[in-house]
Amino acid sequence: MEYVDYYKLLGINKSASEKEIKKAYRKLARKYHPDVNLNNKEAEKKFKQINEANEVLSNPENRKKYDAYGENWQHAEEFKKAKEQQKQQNYSYKGGQQTHNPFNEEDFSDFFSAMFGDGFQQKNTRRGGFKGRDYNAQLQLNLTDILASKKHTLTVNNKNIRLTIPAGIENRQVIKIKNQGEKVANGGINGDLYIEFNIVNNTPFRRDKNNLYVTVDLDVYKAILGGDLIITTIDNKKLKLQIKPETQTDTQVKLKGKGMPIYKKEGQFGDLFVKFKIKTPTNLTSKEKELFTQLSKLR
């Protein structure tokens, strides 16, 4: 746990007035506010840090204690006790007032918790009924996990959330789960949970939206004379393909409806494109070489 220099965070000096603190905070908050930094985790982290700095420095009593203990935050135990007492005294005064703390305890640094305690309540009272903060989570799945809609259980902030992930979800797609973000008391609206999907492709198939692409080896004899070729689809089914005589390398065939399931369109699938790479034989015997020589003379 490291000492956090709140003055440095806000870019102000230790003699800054309340007005200067507020001005510095507002300037940084405008820059890093989550509403103006879409899906920017770095900005979110920075926003939490400057909020913490503001919480401490904009409260004259907290600031006094912070200045007094500063880097010797380990000795702040006495202050924590005093804070507890004060909290109890303030209880009756605050009764009935709608307050909303837009930050969870885990949003504060360990340094902050050690110095000011876990029961710390934000000074600013925002208007009651505000929406709780949205949470962001990431979920990694294999490409083969999304061939059918499946139920999954996620643990977010120590809470298990059951959800059905629709088949065919895109890599990096974000879905919103309503009301599973920050819980808000006093009639406010709970935040939402945003899940970003990281789809890992550990198959020989390449995906482009709903279509799949695969390259398969074709031996030279089958390419010239034609014949049957068994290929395996992404759902591990065997398909018999008829290879036309004189098939050229890089020839591509489309297998309709053998691609990825289309997101939220049950029973509909993309296509599978199979490209042939003709494999020439190696380690030829003298007999084979002789036959190929004869063949080449015929052309």
Partner 1 sequence: MTTIAVKQFCKYYNIPSSFIESLSSVELIEIIEIKNSKHVRINDIQQIEKMMRLHYDLNVNFEALDVINHLTSQIHSLQQELIELKNKIDFYQ
Q: Which of 41, 45, 49, 43 is nearest to 24 (CA)?
A: 49
Which H, E and C letters describe 149-200, residue by residue? CEEEEEEECCEEEEEEECCCCCCCCEEEECCCCCCCCCCCECCCEEEEEEEE
Given the complex with partner 1, which of 247 and 270 has the nearer CB atom? 270
Maximum separation of any 2 CA atoms in the chain, in Å: 104
Given the complex with partner 1, which of 46 and 131 has the nearer CB atom? 131
Nearest distance from C-beta of residue 85 to partner 1, angstroms:
30
Given the complex with partner 1, which of 82 and 200 has the nearer CB atom? 200
Nearest distance from C-beta of residue 208 to partner 1, angstroms:
5
Nearest distance from C-beta of residue 37 to partner 1, angstroms:
9
Given the complex with partner 1, which of 206 and 244 has the nearer CB atom? 206
Q: Residues near 27 by Cβ (< 8 Å), separated by ≥ 6?
A: none
What does the alpha-carbon distance between residue 14 and residue 2 come to, in Å, rounded to a whole number? 19
Give the binding site for partner 1 (CB under 8 A).
Answer: 26, 29-30, 33, 35-36, 38-39, 98, 126-131, 170-173, 187, 189, 201, 206-209, 213
Given the complex with partner 1, which of 38 and 230 has the nearer CB atom? 38
Nearest distance from C-beta of residue 189 to partner 1, angstroms:
8
Nearest distance from C-beta of residue 124 to partner 1, angstroms:
9
Given the complex with partner 1, which of 74 and 201 has the nearer CB atom? 201
Nearest distance from C-beta of residue 282 to partner 1, angstroms:
28
What does the alpha-carbon distance between residue 263 and residue 168 come to, in Å, rounded to a whole number? 5
- Number of Cβ within 10 Å of residue 185's Cβ equals 11
- What is the residue-wise DSSP string for 226-290? -EEEEEE-TTS-EEEEEEPTTPPTT-EEEETT-SPBPTT-TT-B--EEEEEEEEPP-S--HHHHH
